[in-house]
Structure 1
Amino acid sequence: MYITDDASVAAAAKDVEQHEGVVDVLINNAGVHGPLGDPSVLTGAEVLDVLNVNVAGVVRATTAFLPLLRRSADPVIINVSSGMGSLELTNDPARPESHVIAPAYTSSKAALTMLTNQYAKGLPGVRVNAADPGYTATDFNGHSGPQTVTEGTDAVVALATEGPGHGSGRFIDRHDLL
């Protein structure tokens, strides 16, 4: 599935419908970081490319899979966001988020967190939350993060498995679980 292509996302949803018929949990985890560093050379096209994956891609997937989610007894959507989209965290010198200049990525994650909030309010009966994996050692950051992949998935797994009756519109990281 190509998250930037409506037809590809629709085909993926159709395939899942034909083989499974229902989706209990949708995890929107596509992400690109775009240009890093000096924002004075950033172009609109570069920002749009990042937003197309990190925000519009979530809209595409959510829209395509929502009919299958509505067939579930406990439908859940988890958007993988980032503390990099938080004004508070990116301005706290004690936090690693404050030492990165990634204007397109950080803007997209702020938008994704707000999109999560709006879906949570506008989709009654569907639990919609955002998870911050934290600074996790992956290909995305050249394996520079101090957390393991397992630690980075703790918040996503917790949201996916917590069961009915939990809140919607939350933004958590692995430390919110302790």
Structure 2
Amino acid sequence: MNTLTTPVALVAGADGGLGLEVARQLSLTGAVVLVAARTAEAAKGAVVDLPALEALGVDLDVTDDESVLAAVAAVVAAHGRLDILVNATACADPAGTPSGATTRTDLEEALRQFEVALFGAWRLTKAFLPLLEASAHPRVVNVSNGAGSHGDPLHGLAARGGADAAYGVGAAGLNALTSLLAAELATGGILVNAVCPESPVAGTRGPATSAPGVVWAATLPDDGPTGGFFRDGAALPW
């Protein structure tokens, strides 16, 4: 990213796993990276051995409006601006994801998943939008999954026989939100993209090899894509 000033980034859901690794790798690009977690204590604990990262210093419950507004105020107090927002709360949800098939899914559990993965990202983006609109090079990255795609032959909606239904529907919703935000915000130069961190082959991979695709989307040049869905920098079908 071509910037005259050091970009300030917030990674929500970064108290461990993929979110924390994204924060670490993003800091290597030269960005100032704030780590946010459900509790300020968790955020501080996550960065204790990573001095390049900053803990946000307030609890961030993405399902709560007041908590999100407090996070905005904390970012303003710390740096006065925000250039990059990474919504990684879905992958950091400690309660996991409902695993039932579509017809057997506990809808209360599904709603809880949607509140974190979909509405949490929506709420954060809306709240931080004034700061992003003031940025010279604003980026929003939604960490999604191929489970929400019709076209992903391995992880997609039609490939799992209804398994992990709530996770798939939540990811599909996040992908749709990404597309809508990108279309609305394009004239303001805000690039909004979704990223699947999963491996393109069977099995899983660790955060160290999953994070680069997220960092790539967070550091796109001004003429980079927006409204896309990517894995490892390559476009994925919706």
Taking structure 1 as the reference length, the TM-score comes to 0.85
Q: Does 1:173 align with 2:231?
A: yes
Amino acid at match of 2:206: T
Structure 2 match to 1:151: 209
Residues 196 and 229, structure 2, Cα contact 8 Å, conserved in 1: yes
| Counterparts of 1:162 and 1:83, CA distance in 2 | 21
- 3-state SS of paired residue (1:88): coil
Percent identity between the aligned chains?
33
Residues 98 and 106, structure 2, Cα contact 8 Å, conserved in 1: no
- 3-state SS of paired residue (2:85): strand
Segments of 5+ residues of structure 1 without an aligned counterpart are 137-143
**Structure with more helix by fraction:** 1
Q: Could you tell me how far 1:39 is from its partner in structure 2?
A: 3.0
| Misfit runs of 4+, over 6 Å | none
Q: Could you tell me how far 1:50 is from its partner in structure 2?
A: 1.1
Which of residues 9, 14, 18 is equivalent to 2:77? Answer: 18
Segments of 5+ residues of structure 2 without an aligned counterpart are 1-59
Q: Deviations over 1:114-155 (max 9, x none)?
A: 10000000113211111110149xxxxxxx953221211121
| Counterparts of 1:4 and 1:132, CA distance in 2 | 22
Q: Deviations over 1:2-34 (max 9, x none)?
A: 111110011001110111111110000111453
- Cα RMSD over matched residues? 2.1
Taking structure 2 as the reference length, the TM-score comes to 0.65
Residues 151 and 174, structure 1, Cα contact 8 Å, conserved in 2: no
After TM superposition, list the pairs within 5 Å mapping 1:1-178 onto structure 2. Answer: 1-31=60-90, 32=93, 33-89=96-152, 92=153, 95-97=154-156, 98-99=159-160, 101-123=163-185, 124=187, 125-135=189-199, 145-174=203-232, 176=234
Q: Deviations over 1:34-65 (max 9, x none)?
A: 32133333233222111111111011100111
| Counterparts of 1:172 and 1:82, CA distance in 2 | 9
